[in-house]
């Protein structure tokens, strides 16, 4: 029977269906999902793996009265299809109507904006406690993947939730994968549970007081519905462990799970990307360079917290790195503590991490690394305005966050040559914790020799009366603005500040007699380096203009629009003089 | 036999002792420890509980070749006594020679500056990995308490460490207490393990791949030595669960574990404090006020992450709060996620937390609360220069950290009346995440009616040409500086900014025509509100002077000295005009 997906406006519309109809529905949803994903890109494996689980969830529970919280929520596409947003999945003209994550701005069925892992159990425990205080009876469900379960907030809350002593349901979606392969002892344990069909003597969930239910085929609707129904309206904590297939139903995704975790548009049959991207890439530049260093020095260790691809560590490169590459799982805190321990032990740790995720280890950066003045190197990726434009993955808060931690040297290179020179310096020195920010946007090169005194600003172009200080990617903007000004007879000094955690006061002192100093910052203005410059020059009559991004959570923004809105185009900068 | 403690210069000096002599040594150490603690104050229960375990550690392992990492390290006093620092524990003139935590500046036996919980396993895993890369053979030991084990970084690393596949020893010091009673399902499990003498069928540590060893009497030297020897030189991960008595040997400490976790000087027999402290206290003011609110509104919920005393929630007050008080254990991340969930569920969560610990949930503040614009209220304590002067517990980074997170309203009241008015507003509104900073120093009061438009600066004294903007505790400094200036014929405008996360531009615009604006900030200058003011006024000719603390990790500082070093006395401020 063919199901008319357009007739599904809410979960109410599937509650009357037979098991057979639900199966047909699932196939229909999967087919449309594959069509959209192959044409549009997105999280392929995670969503294809939970088609049946999501159908079963909405068949058994009564959202939005019952509360379902999806961890990371990159697997919530089918949920969106069943909760009034089907058009965004079946009509190409509406593909972009929805975000890639749960989004309360879209629907009351979505409880939170979520994009970082490991938050669902804590958030759900708050919903459950609020319910208990109100005397409510609704079910509260946290839907979390095996990889996300290893994150600190998830483990803390897994420990806490049973103490509520009331209805609380965790659905553990075990697809045996993180973005890449899983790491951590927990996964050995999950394997043991799967192998024993849930009957292993040792059971970490039972040890924590959960009623434990195992579903061997997590893509089988009947088993899922049975398990969910048995937990519905429980008066205690239940964990349902479902064994699903990541990428289910799409052979290339089942076969290449890491590649098809998230991908751009691709050919459904061959899996080949539809958009060739052969542009030079900072992640490749970084990975090849650090691999050379690792080869030359067995003490150099690269660390990832479950996102090796984010800094170029493909399976092939991981193979080359061997024991000098460590994946701790999605555990930025442990990764940071590990880096501190490695540095103390005489190794040269390099932790590669997305700018949006490094904020998960603020306390470890401060306590484990900075207070101990350990020469651990953090290299962050997708920082700044050219990073990921999703609200939950923004990369432009790192300067404000990390440059204000004492002892941390925050370096922002402006081009590939400076980037690698800074990396060499960071890995070679033994005095400072270092945050090296990978430049954003297209790779740029310079013929100019790199000035390696990174604690001093680099004056790129000597002028007078006006100084434009452009950090990182925005040095190019500063230089373009200078060109425009030169055509008008103004010859500004152009500065590449490079170090954002402290000022080069000797350089700045020269500008006290200038008319105008403009700072350009690829991050939020608040707490950034421009405000430090302004404060330092505050006692001088020089006019200081700080430009950068507004402190706000943008969502799916257009870079050019954001730059213009913040007066960050070369023309706008020039016009300020 | 009496042991001459002065003859113990290093662990080498105890390795030849018999068991009987080790017992005598332990008694001797405990007696001196009690004497110092009662005269000087410090962490009483944690240290008295691990006298034997520490003696056994240093008897069995060969530090500093073998690496021992103490979690939190507030239980490292006996370790210090055995590693060349005995004088600081037996000679009152030298009591202050050592810090209260492990400190590499003091001794090579101390590997890290540590003061926050839950870091030891991750740090040790780094030491172990560095050893493995070097082909070393030393033992790596993480010594962690049961309460610390529930923290995110600890759980992440507990999961990770066995995957190293090499020597790794966790000693779990189970004294059945956090600072207050333990919370979390894990503690039920530990109770089960203790009850079964380590033989419970379900074993979370075995599930994670650890060899598990249980020591029923963790204050018995023979058992401890036997267990440690059986793990020494292991080639895999071992967890030794030792059941100790917090406060062992001191009846008042055994009987009143929460009170004697940390205390000032006290009478050894009665336990009565030697220094009466009847001064009015912001924690009491807060606790009594919020309890009234909780009584009036069952939706108000107070949350702690294992430190109820830090904001006045004594056992008696917890009893009064009943179900409206939640202790999640030392899990700031889960506490923050819980607060987000509660706010979403319609409750009014108030998370009370030390300023030094709120940084443990940066990502949750940003992702769980701020992105979702949830009206969760965080009240932090011991923030600013009047907070805790230990390097690992500094409270003056909170403004830079939190005020730069979008959506967060950061409020800094200047006196008790403003504090409570802000608390009322924060709990009553439904629009904003709020960080309310409890004032530091002695409680101050005002007769002036509180201006409740907290998004606007409050002009406390109208003057001309000079503005002094003093936030929080430093409003008093601003007012005193103004008095000095008035005596010199200058009449400055004095401003209480109250909100530090955004500017009151209307107020600041008035100062563009002033000669001088001075900002006083009880936090580091970098990333703070003063730099925002300076940047805003950077385009105007007005001279702006930003005063605040230098970005550095101070240790055991004197407040008056720090204020003077940063030009923050009223006289110094006045002299700037």
CB contact under 8 A, A546 and B535: yes
CB contact under 8 A, A126 and B162: no
Q: B-contacting residues of A 454-483, CB under 8 Å? A: none
Q: B-contacting residues of A 208-267, CB under 8 Å? A: 208-210
Give the residue on A whose Cα is nearest the Cα of B69.
A341
User: Residue A544 is nearest to which of B363, B404, B538, comparing CB atoms?
Assistant: B538
Q: Report the candidate in B550, B555, B543 with the shortest Cα–Cα distance to residue B566.
A: B550
Chain B residues in contact with A341 (beta carbon < 8 A)? 122-130
For A127, the token pair is: 């919903």
Question: pLDDT (tens digit, 9 = 90+) per residue, B199-225?
Answer: 998 999 999 999 999 999 999 999 999
A277: confidence class by pLDDT, cuts 50, 70, 90: confident
Q: What is the pTM of this model?
A: 0.97
What was the pLDDT predicted at A1? 62
Q: What is the mean pLDDT of residues B329-334?
A: 97
B369 contact A CB<8A: no
Rounded to whole angstroms, how far apart are CA atoms B148 and B155?
A: 9
CB contact under 8 A, B329 and A546: no
Reply yes or no on whether the pLDDT at B2 is more than 80.
no
Q: A-contacting residues of B 103-162, CB under 8 Å? A: 104, 111-116, 119, 121-134, 150-153, 155-162
Enter the DSSP assignment of A220: -
Rounded to whole angstroms, how far apart are CA atoms B133 and A324?
A: 8
Q: What angle do CA A464, A469, A475 make, to 5 degrees?
A: 115
DSSP string, B103-153: -TTT-TT------SSS-HHHHHHHHHHHHHHHT----EEEEEEHHHHTSHH
What was the pLDDT predicted at A112? 98
Task: Calculate how close chain A gets to B553, using CA atoms only, in Å.
Answer: 7
Chain B residues in contact with A397 (beta carbon < 8 A)? 366, 404-405
A527 contact B CB<8A: yes
φ, ψ of residue B162 to 5 degrees: the values are -60, -20
A413: confidence class by pLDDT, cuts 50, 70, 90: very high
Chain A residues in contact with B74 (beta carbon < 8 A)? none
| Percent of chain A with pLDDT strictly greater than 90 | 97
Reply yes or no on whether the pLDDT at B1 is more than 70.
no
Give the residue on B whose Cα is nearest the Cα of A138.
B345
Reply yes or no on whether the pLDDT at B277 is more than 90.
no
CB contact under 8 A, A551 and B347: no
CB-based contacts of B317, cutoff 8 Å, min separation 6: B287, B291
Q: What angle do CA A524, A527, A529 make, to 5 degrees?
A: 85
Q: What is the mean pLDDT of residues A91-118?
A: 98
Which helix (H) or strand (E) segment holds residue A240: the answer is strand A237-243
Strand, coil or helix: what is A534?
helix
Helix orientation angle between A19-40 and A221-231, rounded to the nearest 10 degrees: 110
Q: What is the mean pLDDT of residues A513-538?
A: 98
Reply yes or no on whether the pLDDT at B459 is more than 70.
yes
Task: Calculate how close chain A gets to B423, using CA atoms only, in Å.
Answer: 20
Chain B residues in contact with A124 (beta carbon < 8 A)? 341
> Tokens 């609020």 sit at which residue?
A130
B534 contact A CB<8A: yes
Query: Are the C-beta atoms of A42 and A210 separated by less than 8 Å?
Result: no
CB-based contacts of B432, cutoff 8 Å, min separation 6: B373, B375, B407, B408, B409
Chain B residues in contact with A130 (beta carbon < 8 A)? 299, 301, 341-342, 344-347
Question: pLDDT (tens digit, 9 = 90+) per residue, B336-392?
Answer: 999 999 999 999 999 999 999 999 999 999 999 999 999 999 999 999 999 999 999
CB-based contacts of A326, cutoff 8 Å, min separation 6: A301, A302, A303, A304, A338, B129
Q: A-contacting residues of B 52-91, CB under 8 Å? A: 67
Task: Calculate how close chain B gets to A282, using CA atoms only, in Å.
Answer: 26
User: Residue A404 is nearest to which of B334, B526, B544, comparing CB atoms?
Assistant: B526
Chain B residues in contact with A181 (beta carbon < 8 A)? none
Q: Which long-range contacts (CB under 8 A, 24 or more apart) does A307-310 make?
A: A307/A179, A307/A180, A307/A353, A307/A354, A307/A357, A308/A179, A308/A180, A309/A179, A309/A180, A309/A258, A310/A283, A310/A352, A310/A353, A310/A354, A310/A381, A310/A382
Which helix (H) or strand (E) segment holds residue A509: the answer is helix A505-510
Query: Are the C-beta atoms of A343 and A349 separated by less than 8 Å?
Result: yes
CB contact under 8 A, B185 and A208: yes
Query: Are the C-beta atoms of B50 and B42 separated by less than 8 Å?
Result: no
């Amino acid at each position: 029977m063919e199901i008319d997906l357009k007739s599904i406006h809410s979960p109410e519309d599937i509650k009357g269906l037979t098991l057979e109809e639900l199966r047909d529905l699932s196939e229909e949803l999967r087919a449309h999902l594959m069509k959209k994903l192959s044409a549009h890109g997105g999280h392929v494996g995670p969503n294809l793996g939970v088609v049946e689980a999501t159908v079963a969830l909405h068949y058994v529970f009564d959202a939005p009265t019952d509360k379902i919280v999806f961890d990371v929520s990159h697997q919530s596409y089918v949920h969106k299809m069943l909760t009034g947003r089907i058009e965004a999945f079946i009509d190409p003209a509406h593909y972009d109507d929805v975000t890639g994550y749960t989004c309360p701005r879209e629907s009351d069925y979505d409880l939170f904006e979520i994009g970082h892992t490991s938050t669902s159990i804590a958030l759900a425990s708050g919903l459950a406690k609020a319910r208990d205080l109100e005397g409510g009876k609704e079910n509260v469900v946290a839907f979390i993947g095996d990889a996300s379960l290893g994150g600190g907030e998830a483990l803390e809350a897994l420990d806490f939730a049973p103490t509520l002593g009331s209805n609380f349901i965790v659905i553990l979606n075990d697809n045996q994968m993180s973005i890449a392969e899983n790491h951590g002892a927990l996964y050995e344990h999950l394997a043991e549970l799967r192998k024993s069909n849930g009957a292993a003597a040792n059971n970490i969930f039972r040890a924590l007081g959960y009623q434990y239910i195992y579903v061997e085929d997590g893509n089988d609707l009947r088993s899922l519905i049975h398990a969910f129904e048995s937990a519905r309206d429980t008066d205690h904590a239940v964990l349902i462990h479902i064994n699903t297939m990541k990428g289910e139903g799409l052979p290339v995704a089942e076969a290449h799970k890491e590649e098809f975790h998230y991908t751009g548009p691709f050919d459904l049959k061959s899996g080949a990307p539809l958009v060739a991207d052969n542009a030079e890439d900072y992640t490749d530049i970084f990975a090849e360079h650090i691999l050379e260093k690792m080869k030359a020095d067995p003490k150099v260790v690269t660390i990832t917290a479950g996102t090796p691809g984010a800094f170029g560590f493909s399976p092939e490169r991981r193979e080359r790195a061997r024991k000098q590459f460590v994946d701790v799982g999605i555990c930025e805190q442990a990764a940071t503590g590990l880096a501190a321990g490695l540095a103390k032990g005489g190794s040269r740790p390099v932790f590669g991490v997305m700018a949006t995720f490094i904020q998960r280890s603020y306390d470890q950066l401060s306590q484990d690394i900075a207070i101990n003045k350990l020469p651990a190197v953090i290299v962050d990726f997708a920082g700044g305005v050219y990073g990921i434009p999703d609200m939950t993955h923004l990369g432009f808060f790192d300067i404000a966050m990390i440059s204000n931690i004492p002892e941390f040297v925050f370096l922002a290179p402006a081009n590939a040559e400076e980037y690698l020179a800074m990396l060499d310096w960071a890995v070679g020195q033994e005095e400072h914790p270092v945050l090296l920010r990978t430049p954003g946007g297209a790779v740029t090169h310079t013929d100019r020799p790199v000035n390696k005194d990174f604690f001093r600003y680099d004056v790129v172009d000597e002028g007078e009366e006006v100084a434009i200080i452009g950090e990182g990617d925005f040095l190019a903007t500063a230089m373009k603005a200078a060109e425009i000004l030169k055509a008008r007879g103004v010859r500004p000094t152009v500065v590449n500040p490079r170090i954002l955690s402290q000022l080069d006061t000797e350089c700045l002192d020269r500008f006290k007699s200038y008319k105008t100093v403009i700072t350009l910052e690829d991050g939020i203005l608040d707490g950034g380096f421009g405000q430090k410059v302004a404060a330092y020059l505050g006692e001088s009559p020089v006019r200081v203009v700080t430009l950068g991004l507004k402190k706000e959570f943008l969502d799916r923004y257009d870079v050019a629009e954001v730059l213009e809105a913040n007066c960050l185009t070369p023309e706008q900068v020039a016009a300020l003089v």
